[in-house]
Structure 1
Amino acid sequence: MKITWSKGLTVMLVFVLTAMLISGCTGANTIEENTKANSNTPSETNADEAPIEVGYPAAMTYWVGMDGDSMATLSNFNEVGAYKELEKITGTKVDFKHPGGDGAQVTEQFNLMVASGNLPDVIQTNWLTVPRGPQNAIKEGTVIRLNELIEEHAPNFSKFLAENPDIASMIKTDEGDIYSFPFIRGDDKIKIYYGPIIRTDWLNKLNLQPPTTIAEWETVLTAFLNDDPNGNNKKDEVPFLFSAGEVRNEALNQLIGAWDILAKFYQEDGVVKYGEIQPEYEQFVTTMRSWYEKGLIDQDFAAVDGKLKDAKVTGDTLGAFYGFASGSIGKYLDLVKDHPTFEIAPLPNPSLVKGKNSAAGQISPSYPGEHAVAITTAAKNPAEIVKWLDLGYSEQGSMLFNFGIEGESYEIVDGSPKYTEQITKNPDGLAFKQAQAQYMRTHFGGPFIQDVQSFLQQMKYPQQLAALDAWGQAENDIQLPPMTLTSEESSELASIMNDVNTYSEEMIVKFIMGVEPLSSFPEYVENLKSIGIEQAVTIQQAALDRYLQR
């Protein structure tokens, strides 16, 4: 069985009629009662009556992390052109609450906020990754179920769900509850943005063809090491910058797809497996150990951060690496534009067999989970907030979030929106995404459908567009869909995986560097089993089974 993220599933919006509470109830307003009161069930109308028309909220509080491109010039999202225009359209004054710090600090602040019960009206986050999952957030009274409110007050989003039943299934819990207004990638090209990159000028100088298999990669990397492709008469070339973290990152899957597995959880014909205990993972680690011994992998790979990577690329010493279409190919071609020969290009994700596509590379689902907006039980006017959020899925809202303000950040050219030089050649010297951040949210995410043209207009080099085709050749059939776990499953899985991740992150580096002999691999597998990885697989299998039954 082949699982994709475009499986046709039927959209079901569940209608619940709430019975009137009779005598015997106290006047106390418990969290559970608040949740029921905000459960969006039309309790005062019959099922065949038209929903009551509501206006936009006068004001609302909105908790959302601020991305780096926004922080470069903004202190608050009220300064973003799209949100300024939304206030003109709706009259709604939004009080944005931005947590400070990095990812871990933002997560800590989110957890403290939820635990305190001092909630804003809406929260934007990845609800698939919150402790104990989105269904539990509804049951515990943190956020409200949105199904009926969406049907009654969100015509644009309702129309989108009716036309895209596969996505409608993704954004629900296993119990059928819609918990947020999601960020949706609106085209397959937007889902692919990361993969292998190589110095094509080095290939040309050494009369080599772009490699497509692991064996061909080794041949090319060996030539990069020994044949002085940068021409400085020094043996200073670093053939390949390997990243163990990006191998284990389930969204990126660096190199591992060549062995027809992922490092962590994946599925074959609906059966969940865990990569690091498979024989193929031992083969992968053995190959990386051999490359490291031969000098084909950066000897300091475990300590290389983004700045060091930039220095190796711009310093004319790095031959091959994994990176992003915009943040790597575009950036490095800009930074090294004065180099007389510097050229980089994407490669397809390699396989073991000539002519065969890699089993997996990087791909994002249409609904990646991140940037989703939920309405909390603290909101006094959830219907009005739903109407406001629905604008993001309208044509007008789509233009605002994807392109900003007409006449400032974009113009209509031949019937299509085209970014102005305020974005593409910012007069203040801002990078493309920093300039976008002043006007729109497509550079990062939010409650709207990302337009493919807003993505493709970032690509000013042909190598960037070629990357979408090259990296898109991977089969990408074995990745798990965006599933939800029960509260109990979420807690148990998190406990197991905290220990697994700590152990495995250490061991992959030790195996590759030779600190731990490869003869210890069977012991490593047994240790993972003792930590509980087989129980983790059982949990993921149950979640996948439920997902397939939605």
Structure 2
Amino acid sequence: MGVKQVVASVVVMGAVLSTFAGCSKSNEDQPGKESAQPLAIDSSGRKIEGNMYVSGYPIVKDKQTIKVAYNDVWSSPDFNTKKVMQMVEEKTNIHVQWDQIPNTSYNDRVNLMFASNDLPEVFMNASLGANLSLAKEQGQIIDVKDLIDNYAPNIKKALDSNPDYKKMATDLDGKIYSIPSFLSNGNLNYGDTLFLNKKWLEKLNLSVPTTTDEFYQVLKAFKEKDPNGNGQADEIPFTVIWGTGNTGSVNLFGPWGTVSVAGSATNSSSGNIFIIKDNKVVAASMIPGYKDAVKYWSKLYQEGLLDKEAFTQDSKAFFAKTTKEPYYVGGWTGYGGWNEAGSLQKSKDNFASVLPLKGPDGQQNWLKVISGITLNQNFITKAAKDPKTIIRWMDAIAEPEISYQWSFGPMGSNVEKTADGKLKLAATPSGTPYGQFRVTNTVPFGTLGIYKEWADKNMILDENTVYKSQIDDSYEPYGTISNLSNLKFTKEQNTQLATYATNLADIQNYTRSKEAEWIIKGTIDAEWDAYLKKLNDLKIGEIIKIYQQGLVNYNNLK
């Protein structure tokens, strides 16, 4: 079944489901509503509802299993083999049946889940795309506001720690559909950073580039002048994983006032297809500079300055290239450089962070995300047999000390407590590069509960984070672009968006495929007018108008 058929099926299914929307539920059936019946007391003296203890650990008396679908962007080993997951299971008495979906097939799998109504109990680290608004409307994902208020003290405390957080998390109807994740860890507002091999720059007597023209000349020298000194033309001037975020293409189009539509944008249900610039929603690939950006990167690709495998390699192949010593890759995009170079010290010694490049007309732009909170990634679905137990399991992960280990590593391995009780990162066992260590030892995304007040009192920032914060501070003047994470829609606007669900899926697939094709083949000039016509035929203008209304709604919230 094609994407168009899948999304169309979702819309049809939604119309059928809406027939039953008027059926009322008693309070006992509504997730998070307190029952009027007195709670039982078990033999241990704890209050219990059915099999679930109302507070404390373990969460359930008899072990339960929940089903979680996870967007596995890291191609991780089985989560249940990781110490942090085993720790949470032992603490909660809840076992997780993980469906770790590879990022490359995630969108298609999620579309099928919603079209067939065959849903997991939980989506974690999800990107629901065009399914999100319809799933809310039709009850396929449930309101968790009362669940958080009554059963999730850690999540509630983090949510209440900043008034903007509640504004961001709450829909116009007063409901909360996604369980927020909180990670206050320095000033980290920019996902990716541009890095170049400074040893090569020094050897070739080149300055750190400040413009796209200078960047081209630097990469050309990296390719032609044997900077690694082995007498072979084996250098890769620049590499990325084109369709990803931190190590990908998102901001490579910034010098032309836009972003790469192939790159994934944190917190955004529509990826980078639409962005906010100058307080207006625009289509990233219809901004005038987009065409020139594609032509620039096509030129680099044709001349061998951009890695020929940039569009096909996975993270394993990427990191194998960037960490190999002596280094034969001249530059890349990365979160902070330590994963790509092999360690923070190696990154500092060998690679320079490069400020956003100036484009032909002097533009410098980078996509900025609001740090500290992540939304629209964690959901409980109507398939959940016991939503109260699930929110309590999510809240267990949100206990800040557990969140720290869940995200950074197990206590006693690479995480330790100082004499005054603060958490800090230590060296990884056997000197394993931290990026590799995290893939095999952590579950990096989930319902974390590390909010700023707690972090300031209980965490010592590691060297990596301090370094990354310094880089992000230097990028701050260029954070002119944001994604659509905070749009708020009325019921009528959600209904309008639902009618364009198929169009939106087609726009996403079409724009992303054409971007890669044009860079590889260099055919954008010949196809540009037909491309714009296709987007207009897919009603992209009407979709932008609705998104703009959603932005106005958010800006008007008090």
In the superposition, the TM-score normalised over structure 1's length comes to 0.73
Pick from 401, 409, 418 the counterpart of residue 413 of structure 1.
418
CA contact (8 A) 1:326 1:458 kept: no
For 1:446, the equivalent position in structure 2 comes to 447
Instruction: For 1:410, give the aligned amino acid.
Output: V
For 2:67, the equivalent position in structure 1 comes to 63
Does the alignment pair 1:481 with 2:485?
Answer: yes
Instruction: For 2:539, give the aligned amino acid.
Output: G
Q: Spell out, residue by residue over 1:314-333, the C-alpha distance to the aligned partner (whole angstroms, 9 max, x if none).
A: 37443222233256434377
- Secondary structure of the 2:330 match is strand
For 1:504, the equivalent position in structure 2 comes to 511
For 2:143, the equivalent position in structure 1 comes to 145
- Map 1:95-114 to 2 at 5 A: 95-103=95-103
Instruction: For 1:359, give the aligned amino acid.
Output: N
User: What is the distance in 2 between the residues matched to 1:294 and 1:70?
Assistant: 31
Does the alignment pair 1:267 with 2:276?
Answer: yes
Does the alignment pair 1:280 with 2:289?
Answer: yes
Does the alignment pair 1:72 with 2:77?
Answer: yes
Deviation at 1:361, TM superposition (A): 3.7
For 1:348, the equivalent position in structure 2 comes to 355
User: What is the distance in 2 between the residues matched to 1:503 and 1:362?
Assistant: 25
User: What is the distance in 1 between the residues matched to 2:445 and 2:148?
Assistant: 24
CA contact (8 A) 1:77 1:96 kept: no
Deviation at 1:414, TM superposition (A): 4.6
User: What is the distance in 1 between the residues matched to 2:169 and 2:513?
Assistant: 35
- Secondary structure of the 1:322 match is strand
Deviation at 1:522, TM superposition (A): 3.0
Instruction: For 2:424, give the aligned amino acid.
Output: K
- Map 1:181-192 to 2 at 5 A: 181-192=179-190
CA contact (8 A) 1:184 1:366 kept: yes
Instruction: For 2:256, give the aligned amino acid.
Output: W
CA contact (8 A) 2:394 2:447 kept: no
For 2:542, the equivalent position in structure 1 comes to 535
Q: Spell out, residue by residue over 1:451-475, the C-alpha distance to the aligned partner (whole angstroms, 9 max, x if none).
A: 6998953839x97666444555532
Q: Spell out, residue by residue over 1:117-156, the C-alpha distance to the aligned partner (whole angstroms, 9 max, x if none).
A: 7777x5132566265326x445534443232343344444
Query: Structure 1, unaligned stretches of length 5 or more?
Result: 1-28, 46-51, 88-92
- Map 1:104-503 to 2 at 5 A: 122-126=121-125, 129=128, 132-133=131-132, 136-241=134-239, 244-245=242-243, 253-263=250-260, 264-292=273-301, 294-298=303-307, 301-306=310-315, 309-310=318-319, 312-313=321-322, 314=324, 316-325=327-336, 328-331=339-342, 343-352=350-359, 358-361=364-367, 363=369, 365-369=371-375, 371-374=377-380, 376=382, 378-380=384-386, 382=388, 386-387=391-392, 389-395=394-400, 397-398=402-403, 401=406, 410-415=415-420, 416-420=422-426, 424-426=427-429, 432=434, 441=443, 443-449=444-450, 457=462, 459=464, 467-472=471-476, 474-483=478-487, 488-503=495-510
- Secondary structure of the 1:480 match is coil
Instruction: For 2:287, give the aligned amino acid.
Output: Q
Does the alignment pair 1:94 with 2:89?
Answer: no
CA contact (8 A) 1:183 1:445 kept: yes
Percent of residue pairs bearing the same amino acid type: 22
Instruction: For 2:187, give the aligned amino acid.
Output: K
Which range is displaced more, 74-83 or 110-119? 110-119
For 1:15, the equivalent position in structure 2 comes to none
Q: Spell out, residue by residue over 1:364-390, the C-alpha distance to the aligned partner (whole angstroms, 9 max, x if none).
A: 6543336524364644572x6545544
Query: Structure 2, unaligned stretches of length 5 or more?
Result: 1-19, 38-48, 261-272
CA contact (8 A) 1:372 1:447 kept: no
Tell me: CA distance 1:343–1:387, structure 2 relative to 1, closer, same or farther (3 Å).
closer
Instruction: For 1:174, give the aligned amino acid.
Output: L
- Secondary structure of the 1:189 match is coil
Instruction: For 1:426, give the aligned amino acid.
Output: P
Tell me: CA distance 1:78–1:217, structure 2 relative to 1, closer, same or farther (3 Å).
closer
Q: Spell out, residue by residue over 1:44-66, the C-alpha distance to the aligned partner (whole angstroms, 9 max, x if none).
A: 59xxxxxx994444354432246
User: What is the distance in 2 between the residues matched to 1:242 and 1:411?
Assistant: 34
For 1:20, the equivalent position in structure 2 comes to none
User: What is the distance in 2 between the residues matched to 1:250 and 1:499?
Assistant: 25
Instruction: For 1:72, give the aligned amino acid.
Output: P
Tell me: CA distance 1:311–1:349, structure 2 relative to 1, closer, same or farther (3 Å).
same
In the superposition, the TM-score normalised over structure 2's length comes to 0.72
CA contact (8 A) 2:31 2:144 kept: yes
CA contact (8 A) 2:398 2:447 kept: no
CA contact (8 A) 1:69 1:433 kept: no
Instruction: For 1:269, give the aligned amino acid.
Output: D
Deviation at 1:199, TM superposition (A): 0.9
Does the alignment pair 1:38 with 2:47?
Answer: no
CA contact (8 A) 2:254 2:366 kept: yes
CA contact (8 A) 1:76 1:98 kept: no
- Secondary structure of the 2:519 match is helix
Tell me: CA distance 1:85–1:519, structure 2 relative to 1, closer, same or farther (3 Å).
same
CA contact (8 A) 1:64 1:96 kept: yes
Tell me: CA distance 1:430–1:35, structure 2 relative to 1, closer, same or farther (3 Å).
farther
CA contact (8 A) 2:84 2:442 kept: no
Tell me: CA distance 1:215–1:225, structure 2 relative to 1, closer, same or farther (3 Å).
same
Q: Spell out, residue by residue over 1:443-499, the C-alpha distance to the aligned partner (whole angstroms, 9 max, x if none).
A: 333343376998953839x97666444555532444333436665455444422332
For 1:83, the equivalent position in structure 2 comes to 88
Deviation at 1:256, TM superposition (A): 1.1
Q: Spell out, residue by residue over 1:17-45, the C-alpha distance to the aligned partner (whole angstroms, 9 max, x if none).
A: xxxxxxxxxxxx99944586315445859
For 2:552, the equivalent position in structure 1 comes to 545
Deviation at 1:81, TM superposition (A): 4.8
CA contact (8 A) 2:247 2:334 kept: no
User: What is the distance in 1 between the residues matched to 2:405 and 2:312?
Assistant: 41
CA contact (8 A) 2:73 2:103 kept: no
CA contact (8 A) 1:257 1:360 kept: yes
Which range is displaced more, 176-185 or 360-369? 360-369
User: What is the distance in 1 between the residues matched to 2:230 and 2:409?
Assistant: 47
Which range is displaced more, 527-536 or 107-116? 107-116
User: What is the distance in 2 between the residues matched to 1:189 and 1:438?
Assistant: 26
User: What is the distance in 2 between the residues matched to 1:402 and 1:242?
Assistant: 24
Deviation at 1:178, TM superposition (A): 1.1
